[in-house]
Amino acid sequence: MFRKNSPCCFEKILSYLEDPRYPSVGPHLRLLSLTGLWHPNNTKIEKFKLYLFYITVAFFCSQYIRCLIKCDGESLTLILQYAPFHMGIVKSCFFQKDYKKWENVIFYVSSLERDQLLKKNEQSLEINKYIKQSRRVSYFFWALAFFSNFNIFSEPYRLNQENDDGTNTYKNIFDGYIPYSNEPPGYYVSLIVQTVLGHIVSAYVVAWDTLVVTIMIFLAGQLKVARINCERMIIDRDDNESHENIAYCHRHHTKLVKYQKLFNELISPVMYVYLVVISVNLGVCIIQIAQMQDDVTTLIASCLFVMACLIQLLLFYWHANEVTVESTLVSYSTFKSNWPQSTAKIQKEVAILGLSTNKKLVFRAGPFNEMSLQTFIAILRASYSFYTLLSKTK
């Protein structure tokens, strides 16, 4: 007999993912630890996972080398078709290159949230609110990636076929170097290796993407907290406490600006590469969908893959846009406080705070592209233009 109040398996998994040391980013660090990208203690297990990471990178690099040496259109098509997986190599390599900076950002995010949650006030309610939002977005994206992977890694078995001349055509997911034949039984060993490494790279992608989105949600949420603090910083007939509140609001906002700039430096080059790759990838996938006639199963799988890419892109640009919008409201909130009833000295401090918080926080994909909803729409238009160009030249 099961007790009614006993937690289900799903709830146990969710509770395992949580880590009180990292209120917002706990589940993402669990996934990064599982893949070996997060290794704060440098234990033997973490070092083994790092070696596996190097093997995975070497496998995917061998695919690029083979494509250049062979000048094979099929290898290039595979790279373009599964470009989001190859982005996992870019994201994980940049993460390892800037590992100390990522640690700095993550420790700041977590320490700030821990201190704020201990106060049990309106600000802590706002933090719990955006943490729940982060969980919904992250777990939805994880589920989407799981079902998308199921369709992608089962696709070669559906596309394998027997030709008219009696030979068989066997499809691959990745064309990296594997010391096995392209014919069975070596083909199936090769496909198992591709599937395992593909799932590992997919974990890199999912962990990096949801970590980035979560930190964007954190920044937007903290800017809302900053607005609340600014609106309530003036205490009637208590200049000392009002002064302390104004100083705290300034420190809080200054650190947010500092770490937003650092965080933007970490993701900007990756997002620029991703911007180029996803634009081309969407065009290629749309062309393949347009050329399909009777293969309904592959058509559905391709449509799901395109939808997953669009949702992935939208998550970045939507939440980056939210940070930009929230940053423009902090300065205004300083003048929603009870500043007219304060002394001239406090009014001057409020005016200085209003000027110092008047900073627009923007994320950029490379040096030119601002991450906003307008840019997202422009990417869709560019992908469609790429599709029309390729369809006319075929």
Domains in the chain: boundaries:
24-393
pLDDT score, position 168: 64
- Evaluate if residue 258 carries a pLDDT over 90: yes
User: In which band, very low, low, confident or very high, does the pLDDT at 181 lie, cut at 50, 70 and 90?
Assistant: low
- Evaluate if residue 64 carries a pLDDT over 70: yes
Measure the CA–CA gap between 175 and 333, rounded to whole angstroms. 55
What separation, in Å, do the N-terminal and C-terminal C-alpha atoms of the chain show?
65
**Span 10-33, mean pLDDT?**
85
- Evaluate if residue 153 carries a pLDDT over 90: no
> Could you report the per-residue pLDDT of 66-100, keeping only the tens digit for each?
777 777 666 777 777 777 778 888 899 999 999 99
User: In which band, very low, low, confident or very high, does the pLDDT at 166 lie, cut at 50, 70 and 90?
Assistant: low
pLDDT score, position 102: 96
> Could you report the per-residue pLDDT of 112-138, keeping only the tens digit for each?
999 999 887 878 888 999 999 999 999
User: In which band, very low, low, confident or very high, does the pLDDT at 2 lie, cut at 50, 70 and 90?
Assistant: very low
Measured in degrees and rounded to the nearest 5, phi and psi for residue 365 equal -95, 95
CA 190 vs. chain centroid, Å, equals 30
Choice between 40 and 244, residue whose per-residue pLDDT is larger:
244
**Span 18-32, mean pLDDT?**
91
- Evaluate if residue 262 carries a pLDDT over 90: yes
